Copies of this chain bind each other. A is one copy, B any other.
């Protein structure tokens, strides 16, 4: 198990879907930062289940409770522990899964690895764990905000339905205007319709979330291995159900030639920039001062209501039909998770730079 991420700004996560609670410890947060609890809760609310008609009907009023590291409303430089108590679990819903491996879930691999498995709601492998990431990410965002860095993610594709604008053209202020968190109103409606249709059929879908980061100066990222894009990819691929990552022109630009891909430098008023930004704001693993942007691929939710073939833990063939309450599409709720993991990664890289000599 490796439940800590980061080097100087670290986050250690704990908790199971149907245990006492989930939470974590943020270590290395600079002292003296005002910890705006309302902002943290607001971020959690963007992730919480039951927030719209296209999400799971589970009601979990995820309230974060801080246990340490804050004194008179400010961080003290000591570890910030927090817990989100579990409630509203229907553990009985999962009794039938005790002896069955759900297809494309982590049931089988956890049992193979650990010899034991908390079958209730997926236990540790449940995406419920990502609520803790959102809390840690919100803390990181509060620090990054002071550094002038802003992070905005949005749903850019759901199944076959994709935004018409490219990432760089997206209207970042329109992300929260609809329940699917896509900044194009018309595309958003198509996505919602598509998801609703799938929900009716007991099926699910995946898609892509795009993310734009503004305000990072040139110099963040630690080559050779801890390149900015490598650390972002690591963080994104650690999110449940994520299956891919690209930045800058990305897979869509695979056929571009060097003469098209290269970003010419220009200097206006003593400020260096590039006339295009196919590099996604990163060159040689280090931010170049332009917007950083990337995309994360999510596979369809593995839990569907249709009947599926699988086997029992005793290796007998069986059929499975999910009875839990689940999302037909996680993307709208994954938007704040992508932002959180980006924030955790960026702040750690900022802090990991050598102090000046």
- Known contacts A2-B27, A234-B233, A284-B125: does B253 contact A299 (CB below 8 Å)? yes
Q: Is the CB of A3 within 8 A of B304?
A: no
Q: Is the CB of A8 within 8 A of B243?
A: no
Chain B residue nearest in CB terms to A77: B114
Pick 19 A–B contacts, CB within 8 A, sort by A.
Answer: A2-B27, A2-B352, A14-B79, A16-B78, A20-B68, A21-B67, A30-B357, A77-B354, A106-B223, A109-B284, A203-B257, A204-B259, A206-B254, A208-B254, A229-B243, A233-B245, A238-B285, A243-B249, A244-B251
Judge if A287 is at the interface, Cβ distance under 8 Å.
yes
Q: Is the CB of A27 within 8 A of B8?
A: no
- Cα of A294 to Cα of B227 in the assembled complex, Å: 20
* CB-contacts of A115-160 with B (<8 A): 115-118, 123-125, 129, 143, 146-147, 157, 159-160
Contact of A301 among B1, B221, B258 (CB under 8 A): B258
A101-B265, A225-B234, A256-B299 are known; give 16 further A-B pairs, CB within 8 A.
A13-B224, A14-B80, A16-B78, A77-B354, A78-B123, A109-B218, A109-B219, A109-B286, A109-B287, A125-B223, A159-B255, A233-B245, A243-B247, A244-B244, A258-B302, A267-B315
- Known contacts A108-B265, A246-B244: does B238 contact A236 (CB below 8 Å)? no
Contact of A258 among B80, B249, B300 (CB under 8 A): B300
Contacts of A109 in B (CB 8 A): 218-219, 221, 283-288
Q: Is the CB of A225 within 8 A of B304?
A: no
Contact of A234 among B204, B234, B263, B352 (CB under 8 A): B234
Contacts of A110 in B (CB 8 A): 284, 286
Nearest chain B CB to A74's CB is how many angstroms away?
A: 6
Chain B residue nearest in CB terms to A198: B257
Q: Is the CB of A259 within 8 A of B306?
A: yes
Contacts of A205 in B (CB 8 A): 255, 257-258
Q: Is the CB of B113 within 8 A of A219?
A: yes
Q: Is the CB of A250 within 8 A of B243?
A: yes
